[in-house]
Amino acid sequence: MKLYHLDQFGAELRKIRTDCNLSQSDVYKAIGVSEDTLRRIEHGLVIPRLDTLEYLSALYKLDIGTLFLKSRLGHHYVHVNIAETLNNMIIHTNFEQIDQVIAFISETLESQDTRPTDQLFLNKLIQFKLMVEIIKSSTSPKKDAHYKDDLILKIESTLSLSIPDFSVLNVPGYNLDFIEIRLLIVYCDLLRLKDLFLDAIEILENLLEKTLYKMEFDKNHLDLLFKIYFNLAYCHHRNDNHEEVIINCDKGLELSRHHLNYSLMHAFLFRKSVSLFNLGNLSESEIVINDCITMLRVVGKESLANHYKKVFEDMYYNTTEKKRADNF
């Protein structure tokens, strides 16, 4: 499997050098990169060393490292170019393009010139394709009685492509990438649907620690953090641990404000307002739900705002009626 467009990169590098009115001999005299090395790079015969890219960047006064990264192929190309599309489909539960995504990954797999040493990259492409199919299945309205158990087994099998002998019991010890974390979030969704909230919480807390660490190096994990915080809040809600619900909602809200990403902000506000209500803090709960409703109306989600408003009003009415009955 070719990991880089070396021919394309070499041609661009050669053009940059000639545009700078430099010969290969000039480059050697300036930074010590031999003419033979430069010739091999410019003809796409070798992958350049990192220090060579740095020296060339200084001489050409361009970021040659970034130019080289743009020539990457393989699973990175598929991941970067499709991950955003996939996430948008998940957020909006719109899978009209899903078959095109799967077809594109399949074509990429079939078009690669593979060697045994490329198996890691092949497995990641296959795993990405399976992840798309699993997420599509998990959100499909047409589900049979056994779909949760079937999908759990499929997720475990898919994770085994990159983690031999995968076991959910060993998640704390694994070094997980974006795809693996995303699959385990779906796994936790399925545990939640089976009312296994404590099991889901244990896995999600491990995923949270790993994703926070990954965020230091790759901001693409931000979307995963939102999902983890929200799922933790929901599982704690179902487990009647409302203090933990508020903690995770506040972290999700802080993350939303810091990164100016408001896709799940209304959900965190709603879940927080319910937990405040359940803890007896009615006044603060009302403030938070009003913030949630106002936000939804500002972005044009009137029907959802009205739904949240009705849920809160019914909850408040039922509580006050119960208090009146108790007092009577």
Domain end point (choices 69, 101, 116): 69
- pLDDT on residue 328: 38
Q: Is residue 59 part of a domain?
A: yes
- What distance in Å separates the CA atoms of residue 131 and residue 180, rounded to the nearest whole number? 9
Q: Is residue 304 part of a domain?
A: yes
**Among all chains, which residue has been given the structure tokens 């487990």?**
239
- pLDDT on residue 81: 54
- pLDDT on residue 325: 44
Each residue of 147-159: b (16+ CB within 10 Å) or e? Answer: ebeebbebbeebb
- What distance in Å separates the CA atoms of residue 262 and residue 250, rounded to the nearest whole number? 13
Domain end point (choices 17, 39, 69): 69
Instruction: Write out pLDDT tens, residues 80-133.
Output: 555 556 656 655 556 666 667 667 666 665 665 555 445 666 677 778 778 878
Q: Is residue 17 part of a domain?
A: yes
Domain end point (choices 51, 69, 87): 69
Residue 113 exposed, middle or buried by CB count within 10 Å (0-12, 13-18, 19+): exposed
DSSP-derived secondary structure letter, 300: T
Could you list the residue range(s) of the whole structural domain that residue 48 is in? Answer: 6-69
Closest CA to 208 of 171, 245, 237: 171
> What angle in degrees, to the nearest 10, is found between the helix axes of 282-298 and 302-327?
160
- pLDDT on residue 93: 58
DSSP-derived secondary structure letter, 47: P
Q: Is residue 173 part of a domain?
A: no
- pLDDT on residue 58: 92
Take residue 252 and report the two structure tokens written for it. 């999700």
Q: Is residue 120 part of a domain?
A: no
Q: Is residue 192 part of a domain?
A: no
Task: Please give the tally of structural domains in the chain.
Answer: 2
- pLDDT on residue 225: 94
For the chain, which ranges sit under pLDDT 70? 1-3, 72-99, 101-102, 104-122, 142-143, 145, 317, 319-328
Q: Is residue 318 part of a domain?
A: yes
- pLDDT on residue 162: 87
Q: Reduced to 3 states, what is the DSSP secondary structure of residue 228?
A: helix
Q: Reduced to 3 states, what is the DSSP secondary structure of residue 94?
A: coil
- What distance in Å separates the CA atoms of residue 137 and residue 147, rounded to the nearest whole number? 9
Q: Is residue 324 part of a domain?
A: yes
Backbone angles phi, psi at 72, to 5 degrees: -65, 145
